[in-house]
Amino acid sequence: MPSHLTPSVSRYPAAPALAALAFVGIGLAGCSGQTDTRHVRGGDADTGKRLMTQYQCTTCHVIPQVPGPNGDAGPSLEKVGRLSYIAGGIPNQPDRMVAWLLDPPALKPGTRMPSMGLTEQEARHMAAYLYTLR
């Protein structure tokens, strides 16, 4: 049998075992008991929750732990922190979430979500809270 077809013994016999351990380690990295949330630089989730009450976001959305009417004009935000996309096509990343909160029609013309006159800091706080919703 030609040598390129015969099974060879690795010069590094532990390599397959180490590779398997590394793969398992990477897989378990997200299982440390901590919630996998996206970090919004300069955002405070508690402040964001308070702002969502102040801006009456529950007039159009169901938002856990935010008091209000739990409207249905917009989607429920119950698990928005898990979603891959905002508004069905905008990558759900902190900078995009902040931009969405600041001016939804600029990112998705024709959206029913209006600009609410938020400051960038307010949008950062609100995004921080939204990412806790998983």
Predicted TM-score (pTM) of this structure: 0.73
pLDDT tens-digit profile of 51-73?
Answer: 999 999 999 999 999 999 999 99
Q: Which residue would you say has higher pLDDT here, 18 or 45?
A: 45
Q: Which CATH architecture has domain 45-130?
A: Sandwich (2.60)
Contacts 24+ apart (CB under 8 A), 45-52: 45/125, 45/128, 45/129, 45/131, 45/132, 46/129, 47/125, 47/128, 47/129, 48/124, 48/125, 48/126, 48/127, 48/128, 48/129, 48/130, 49/129, 51/118, 51/122, 51/125, 51/126, 51/129, 52/126, 52/129
